Amino acid sequence: MISLFGDISNIISLSITPAFLLLGVMMQARVLNNRLSRIMDRREVLETRLSGGFGLRAVLLHELTVLHRRADVIHRAIGFSMISMILICSVVVSLFADDAFKLRLGSLIAFLFVSTMLLLIASFSLFLHEIFIASHTMPATALHRTRQMSEPH
């Protein structure tokens, strides 16, 4: 009598690694989403100031431009993360399909996994790029705020 549980438990143990990877990518997507939310909140504040005539128009427009760039980079990073999550799920499905139907999908599984890693590299690179944009534009904005506060009214 041949037990199917041996094969299934082996496939389940193989699918645990992609499942943990999926969890990590979901956490990254949450961080990206939080950053995007903060960018959108700041944009609303700046647009309110701009429409109300509060602050220097050129400075507000510059900061809005920077926020737009940051949001664009975060959107792309989120997109790469979501596509990688789909590919991770495809890896798990392929593992089970390969075992259940003896399809010999080893090359496909390897391709999907490598593609997932490349997408994650792209997503993390964009995340790092957004952090650089934020950190390089922050001192100029902080300096301007300091000057505004010290100017006599």
- pLDDT tens for residues 101-150? 999 999 999 999 999 999 999 999 999 999 999 998 875 555 555 555 55
Which residue is listed with tokens 């309110």? 48
pTM of structure: 0.83
**Cβ partners under 8 Å of residue 75, min gap 6:** 36
- Domains of the chain by residue range: 28-147
Q: How confident is the model at residue 78, as a pLDDT?
A: 98
d(CA 129, CA 124): 8
Give the confidence band of 4 by pLDDT, cuts at 50, 70, 90.
very low
How confident is the model over 24-56, as pLDDT tens digits? 999 999 999 999 999 999 999 999 999 988 778
Reported as a single tens digit per residue, the pLDDT across 60-114 is 999 999 999 999 999 999 999 999 999 999 999 999 999 889 999 999 999 999 9
Residue 55's pLDDT is: 75
